[in-house]
Structure 1
Amino acid sequence: MVTQRAIFVDAGFLLAVGGTHVAGTSLRSAFRVDYEKLIQGILKRTAEHSGLDVLRVYWYDASKDALFTDQHKAIGLLPDVKVRLGRISFNGEQKGVDLKLGLDLVGVARNRAASVAFLVSGDDDLAEAVEEAQDLGMKVVLVGLDNPSHRLGVTSVAEHLALRVDSIIALPTALVEACFTKYVADEPRPTPGLVASPQAAPDVAPSAPRPSDFAARPGPPQHRTRLPPAPRPHRTEAHLVYSSGGSGRTSLPPEDSPLDVAHDVGESVATSWYGAATQGELNELLADRPILPADVDRVLLKDCAQRIGEYKTDLQGVRRALREAFWTKLDQII
Structure 2
Amino acid sequence: MDRCVVLVDAGYLLGAAASLLAGEPSRPRIAVDHAALIQALRERAEADTGCDLLRIYWFDGAPDRVPQPEHRRLRVMPRVTVRLGALTRSDGRWAQKGVDAAMHAELTELARNRACADIVLVTGDGDLLPGLMSAKEHGVAVHLWAVQAADGDYNQSEDLVAEADERRVLDRAWITRAVRLSDAPPGDAPRVATRPEIAAILAAPHREGPGGRPGPAARPLPVTAVESVGEGPAPEGGSAAGTRNGAARSAEDPDAPPAPRDGAAPAPRGVPTPKDLASLGRPAPSGHSGSVSAPTATLRWSSDRGWVDRGAPEEPPEIASLPMLSQLTTAEQRWADREEDITAVSGDPFEVGQVFARRWAERLGTTAHLDRLSAEYPRIPHRIDGELLRYAARFGLLAHKDDQIDEQDRYAIRAGFWRELDARTDTERAS
**Where does residue 190 of structure 1 map in the other structure?**
193
String of CA shifts for 1:191-239, please: whole Å, max 9, x gaps.
999865279426544222389xxxxx989xxxxxxxxxxxxxxxxxxxx
**Where does residue 87 of structure 1 map in the other structure?**
86
Which of 217, 221, 226 is the matching residue for 1:209?
221
Q: Quick check: 1:195–1:206 contact (8 Å CA) kept in 2?
A: no
The CA distance in 1 between the partners of 2:71 and 2:218, in whole Å, is 34
Superposed, 1:3-14 pairs within 5 Å as 3-14=2-13
Superposed, 1:251-262 pairs within 5 Å as none
* 3-state SS in 2 of match to 1:190: coil
How many pairs align?
211
The CA distance in 1 between the partners of 2:76 and 2:107, in whole Å, is 21
* 3-state SS in 2 of match to 1:93: strand
Q: Quick check: 1:190–1:208 contact (8 Å CA) kept in 2?
A: no
More helix per residue: 1 or 2? 1
**Where does residue 66 of structure 1 map in the other structure?**
65
- Which structure 1 residue ranges, 5 or more long, are not aligned? 212-216, 220-294, 296-334
**Where does residue 110 of structure 2 map in the other structure?**
108
The CA distance in 2 between the partners of 1:9 and 1:204, in whole Å, is 53
Tell which deviates more after alignment, 202-211 or 84-93: 202-211
The amino acid across from 1:27 in the alignment is S
String of CA shifts for 1:95-121, please: whole Å, max 9, x gaps.
000000000000011111101100000
* 3-state SS in 1 of match to 2:89: coil
Q: Quick check: 1:127–1:160 contact (8 Å CA) kept in 2?
A: yes
* 3-state SS in 1 of match to 2:177: helix
* 3-state SS in 1 of match to 2:82: strand
Q: Quick check: 1:65–1:87 contact (8 Å CA) kept in 2?
A: yes
The CA distance in 1 between the partners of 2:120 and 2:184, in whole Å, is 36
* 3-state SS in 2 of match to 1:201: coil
Cα distance, 1:188–1:148 mapped onto 2, change above 3 Å: closer
Which has more radius of gyration?
A: 2
* 3-state SS in 2 of match to 1:86: strand
The amino acid across from 2:162 in the alignment is L
* 3-state SS in 2 of match to 1:140: strand
Percent of paired sites with the same residue: 29
Higher relative contact order (CA 8 A, sep 6+): 1
Cα distance, 1:207–1:177 mapped onto 2, change above 3 Å: same
String of CA shifts for 1:58-108, please: whole Å, max 9, x gaps.
000000111111210101111100000000123121000000000000001
Q: Quick check: 1:196–1:206 contact (8 Å CA) kept in 2?
A: no
- Which structure 2 residue ranges, 5 or more long, are not aligned? 207-214, 224-237, 239-256, 259-399, 401-431
The amino acid across from 1:120 in the alignment is V
Which of 142, 145, 149 is the matching residue for 1:143?
145
* 3-state SS in 1 of match to 2:176: helix
Is 1:76 aligned to residue 79 of structure 2?
no
Superposed, 1:1-334 pairs within 5 Å as 2-91=1-90, 92-146=94-148, 150=152, 155-185=154-184, 188-190=191-193, 197=201, 200-201=204-205, 203-209=215-221
TM-score by length of 1: 0.57
Q: CA deviation at 1:177?
A: 1.7
Cα distance, 1:185–1:36 mapped onto 2, change above 3 Å: closer
